[in-house]
A and B are shown apart, each in its own frame.
Chain A
Amino acid sequence: MLIGHLLSLILFLPTIAALFMIFLPADRPRMLRLFAFFTSLLPFVLTLILWGRFDSQIQGYQFVENTPWYPAIGSSYHLGVDGLSLPMVLLTTLLVPLSILASTTIKTHQKSFLMLFLFLETGLLGVFLSLDLLLFFVFWEIGLIPMYFIINQWGGENRNYASLKFILYTMAGSLGLLLAIQMMGAASGTFDLIKLTSTWPDTSPLPLFGLSPATVKAVAFWAFVLAFAIKVPVWPFHTWLPDAHTEAPTPGSMILAGVLLKLGAYGFLRLVLPLFPTESHQFAGWLAVLAAISIVFGALGAYGQNDFKRLVAYSSVNHMGFVVLGVAAAAMAAGTQHAIIAVNGAVMQMFNHGLSAAGMFFLVGVLYERAHTRDLTRFGGLWSILPVYGGVLMFTAMASLGLPGLGGFVSEFLVVRGAWAVYPLATALSMIGLFFTGVYILKALKMVLQGPLNEEWNSKLTEIRLDELVIMVPLMVLMLVNGIWPAWLLEMINKAAMAVF
């Protein structure tokens, strides 16, 4: 019985925990944090069970739950996982407990913070688990609200501006998605993703302004693309991201970079490509161009920063560019081996970037908590006084850079391998971008760890604590595992990729 509703359980346990927290006293932050941590471990454990029982040899969705939710308009509560979504679920349930552990930096209204965080987890998981277009949209939007308040209430100095920019960007992006979903629902009478995937490509859309059906479909396609491109984010829709990341509190940044950005990429894979194969094929070139630009400009932008957190934020644009490049290649070459390799790479990259970005943001947070500044020019030579921290930072940065042997290398390699045959020029440009990735990461490491020590830090900065290491260790282990034995993940992804494309 429980196994039959495993996904629902994973999905709603955080919400139930959050509602339960209403009745806990607000003035015991430590207790609240521990409560939230342990309850958020439950979904993680359940995800491990899910993983264990998931049969990676079966194509298609497993653990499916399907009950009518809003039958009047043809929407149902339809959940299921496949090889594309399961890694994302794992990533989410892993990062949330770690972020909650990292929330010691939150000094005010801990209870509300933790509750919002748990609500956020439900929102994120819902997107990955939904097999119904409307349900997908519901969770897609719900996730925004806790994130908005997390930035707005516990963020840095510019939090008002950043949070408003974040929510208006993403909501504006969602408008087109909303309209397109409405139109698709009105035209086909169902929101069920499995049904839509098989029927929608051949269904003619509703008339709009007297445009031809093909054009209307193209418009709907772009509406989807825009919504997801903002979330990923793809250049030139990325400008909300550095602000939001920089202003968000450390746990918020971890989830934002670790999971939230993946929603956009997941949307491409789960919705855009299967629902709009023709349009995807037709417009994939544009997407590849944007991806290449994101990779190059993301790296250049990161290089230009002197704020450590902003630098890491721009690195996300850079890294997520590879995901989009993979998507573009898969769209163009759907049905070929290249496409499958590219999708494998893209999903793998999503997972790896989730690990490394969360780790990087956490490490920036660790430093900021001690130094109260993120200005790179004021650091330098810290390795001498913080050897353990330096080592951890070096490791994580290398994983992010794509050092062979660590996770990032495998996924970026796969993307490039898949895209090379499809878009040689864009891929070549991306390789140049990869070079800049190395440049900005080394710049950061140099300015923080090497060089002469700024004397003012000599006695002030303390070594990374054990409880902080506890957060980093699982991330680092996974980075290493992904680097040397990616098969545990790829096998599953590959099966799903072959099914979808």
Chain B
Amino acid sequence: MHLSVLTFIIALPLLTGIVILLLPMSEKKAPRLLALISSLIALALSVWAYARYDIPAGGYQFIQKVDWLPALGISYHVGVDGISLPLVLLAGIVTASGVAVSWNIEERPREFFSFLMFLAASVFGVFCSLDLFMLFFFFEMAVFPKYLMILIWGSPKTREYGAMKLTLYLFLGSVVALVGVLAMVFLSGANTFDMLALEKAGFAADFQRLWFPFVFFGFAVLGGLFPFHSWAPDGHVAAPTAVSMLLAGVEMKVGAFAALRAGIMLLPEGARYWAYVILALATVNVVYGALIALVQTDFKYVIGFSSVSHMGLVMIGFATLNREGLMGAGLQMFSHGVMTALFFAIVGMVYDRTHTREINRLGGLIKVMPMAAVGFIISGLVSMGMPGFSGFTAEFPVFMGAWRSAPIVAVVAVLGIIVTAGYILLVVRRVFFGELPENMTGIIENVSGLDKFTIGFLSLIMIALGLFPSLMVPLVNSGVDRILLILGGR
């Protein structure tokens, strides 16, 4: 039987998760080793797929289709295009980094790494899905790893609240989207969950306008669209480092990606009708998220809200419905994923050593953990949209797209950039520069070699993409071509 590389990418972490769970409880080292090996292989496979994707041909590639429930048009149907392939790569990168920075986790390592692998399998599955049933299947499969990981390994004060809020919000968003999807499948008479078939279904304009908000805003909850964003900071902050990395780095992209795939691409007329609402809300995201991040006193909350702010740019890019905007959004998903993963990794490293995340109680850490400081500064620069880094490569086209469709959005959203610069510099100065607090002098260790490697790896990706946009742009562009075709060549 023909097996797609994507099947391996999905199945590998899933099986690893099961195998780890079956190990004896006393086993402390094997889980992390298995998880690392498996996530590195998954990463290697996704790099391979990335390199082998035929850009001129475009469209969905590495397709595999196995009937699952043919009566309802449900199948195991995987394939990637220029939009989803970078996200598969992102998931590979973040998963491997997440395992690396969790290397020394002490509490219940077996369950931890097992759940982490389930979470990874879930996001891989969503990004590769060409079938809406499968998309939901994989997305909601992650409910329990998410919930339990935040609950068990999260920060003690807020983990119960954060875990519950995050899980319920994400579930709520997905089931609302589900209603819209069911309407597409059953009410329109299409009677299939296959996205490729639904793309051609040609839904009536009224139908699209009615159901688009269900699908789009449902998924947009997962993408952190205002005013449904509040799960994100609370959840990310409560979660343990690796989970924050995956949640903010990848899971939010799952929402955005699904909103694009199932919302904009299947209901293009609805997208046109609702575009201005999305633009307005996303603009609020950008500015409001940044302003709230500015006034946080908790290091991790700053990053949490910054994610809200940056995801707003992705949504703006979507809603412009033109080439620049969509391409920028595609790049921004990847760029923000790597950036925020690095942010959370470093926040985790700092917290593990200082046991506080209060900005006012930290300081001078560049002296004891210079590599972490450099990594934070680099992701800070990406976050500010500094030219030369991936954030600029991604955000600039989004703004250009906004200029084409709604200039006021560009003018307002640009405020987010200056506020972002403000909070990033503030945090860098307070946490990494200045004097090391008395009680921390001499007891703080530098980050481990594996941590350094992870920081360097993630930083390099962001710089490379900033200096050489062509590493990803042609690929994303080929994906955008298809979307534009669906949108009617606008």
Chain A–chain B contact at Cβ < 8 A: yes
Q: How far does the Cβ of B467 sit from chain A's closest Cβ, in whole Å?
A: 9
Q: Please tell me if the beta carbons of A145 and B386 are within 8 angstroms of each other in the complex.
A: yes
Indicate the size class of the contact surface on chain B.
20 to 34
Given contacts A145-B381, A208-B407, contact A73 B396 (CB under 8 A): yes
B414 cross-chain contacts in A, Cβ below 8 A: 175, 178-179
> Which of the listed residues B381, B393, B425 has the most CB atoms from chain A within 10 Å of its own CB?
B425
Stretch at the interface among A92-100, A134-142, A297-305: A134-142
Q: Please tell me if the beta carbons of A138 and B421 are within 8 angstroms of each other in the complex.
A: no
CA of A108 to CA of B477, assembled, Å: 47
- Assess whether B410 is interfacial by the CB under 8 Å rule: yes
Secondary structure class of chain A's binding surface, majority of residues: helix
Q: Please tell me if the beta carbons of A183 and B381 are within 8 angstroms of each other in the complex.
A: no
- Assess whether A152 is interfacial by the CB under 8 Å rule: yes
- Assess whether A70 is interfacial by the CB under 8 Å rule: yes
Q: Please tell me if the beta carbons of A182 and B429 are within 8 angstroms of each other in the complex.
A: no
CA of A145 to CA of B428, assembled, Å: 13
- Assess whether A25 is interfacial by the CB under 8 Å rule: no
Residue among A68, A148, A153, A186 making CB contact with B403, cutoff 8 Å: A186
Interface residues of A in 121-144 (CB under 8 A from B): 134, 137-142
Q: Please tell me if the beta carbons of A171 and B469 are within 8 angstroms of each other in the complex.
A: no
Q: Please tell me if the beta carbons of B399 and A141 are within 8 angstroms of each other in the complex.
A: no
Q: Please tell me if the beta carbons of B470 and A208 are within 8 angstroms of each other in the complex.
A: no
CA of A182 to CA of B325, assembled, Å: 12
Q: How far does the Cβ of A25 sit from chain B's closest Cβ, in whole Å?
A: 15
A167 cross-chain contacts in B, Cβ below 8 A: 421, 425
Chain B positions 157 through 181: 1 when the CB is less than 8 Å from some CB of chain A, otherwise 0: 0000000000000000000000000
A208 cross-chain contacts in B, Cβ below 8 A: 407-408, 411
Give the residue name and chain of the B residue nearest to A159 (CB).
B433
CA of A142 to CA of B384, assembled, Å: 12
Interface residues of B in 305-326 (CB under 8 A from A): 323-324
A178 cross-chain contacts in B, Cβ below 8 A: 399, 414, 417
Residue among A72, A172, A185 making CB contact with B418, cutoff 8 Å: A172
- Assess whether B404 is interfacial by the CB under 8 Å rule: yes
A207 cross-chain contacts in B, Cβ below 8 A: 407
Q: Please tell me if the beta carbons of B400 and A185 are within 8 angstroms of each other in the complex.
A: yes
Given contacts A153-B433, A160-B429, contact A182 B473 (CB under 8 A): no
- Assess whether B136 is interfacial by the CB under 8 Å rule: no
Residue among A138, A142, A145, A186 making CB contact with B324, cutoff 8 Å: A186
CA of A206 to CA of B324, assembled, Å: 15
> Which of the listed residues A138, A172, A206, A207 has the most CB atoms from chain B within 10 Å of its own CB?
A138
Q: How far does the Cβ of B418 sit from chain A's closest Cβ, in whole Å?
A: 6
A interface, CB within 8 angstroms of B: 68-73, 134, 137-142, 145, 148, 152-153, 160, 164, 167-168, 171-172, 175, 178-179, 182-183, 185-187, 206-209
Can you name 4 extra interface pairs (CB under 8 A) apart from A72-B473, A141-B388, A145-B381? Answer: A72-B477, A152-B429, A168-B418, A186-B401
B interface, CB within 8 angstroms of A: 323-324, 327, 381, 386-388, 392-393, 396-397, 399-401, 403-404, 407-408, 410-411, 414-415, 417-418, 421-422, 425, 429, 433, 469-470, 473-474, 477
**Would you give 7 A-B contacts (Cβ < 8 Å), ordered by A?**
A70-B469, A71-B470, A72-B323, A160-B433, A167-B421, A183-B403, A208-B411
